[in-house]
Amino acid sequence: MRFMIMMNLPAGEWDYPIFEWTPDAQKAHTDYHKRMNKAMRDAGEFIEVAGLTLPAQAKLVHAGKNGAPMTDGVFPETKEFLAGFWIVDVDTPARAYEIAAEASAAPGPDGKPLNMPIEVRAVMFPSGADIDH
């Protein structure tokens, strides 16, 4: 079973303050995620991980005339934003929830767990799947 595990952060409240943390706090946070990712790789569960840019750099896009992309800038009314994600392949939803809880507990600037909100959703169609039915 494939799941997307999404790190959602409250807009305005968190807005990637990691860039303001001390170098040691930043290293502890990223090292935590590196260890977590390695453990998932070793277990054969890891598919992909990515961090995303700040919300101010995001664009909301829709098709305009003749299908040309039209951008509306960022989405300022959003209360949360997607900061990053993992794609995992695990045996049960419970395992995906365990991984999400582990991601949530990444250390913050004071070394204490951040307990970030993490969304877990099943992937309906794995990449490469034929969905023309």
Do 59 and 74 touch, CB atoms closer than 8 A? yes
The strand pairing partners of 24, in sequence order, are: none
What domains does the chain contain, in order, with CATH numbers? 2-122 (3.30.70.1060)
Q: What percent of the chain has pLDDT over 70?
A: 83
Q: Name residues whose C-beta falls within 8 Å of residue 121's C-beta, 6 or more positions apart in sequence.
A: 3, 4, 6
Residue-wise pLDDT tens digits, 45-104: 999 999 887 777 777 777 888 888 887 766 556 667 788 899 999 999 999 999 999 999
Mean pLDDT of the chain: 84
Question: 17 versus 29: which is more confidently predicted?
Answer: 29
In the structure, what pLDDT confidence band is assigned to residue 4 with cuts at 50, 70 and 90?
A: very high
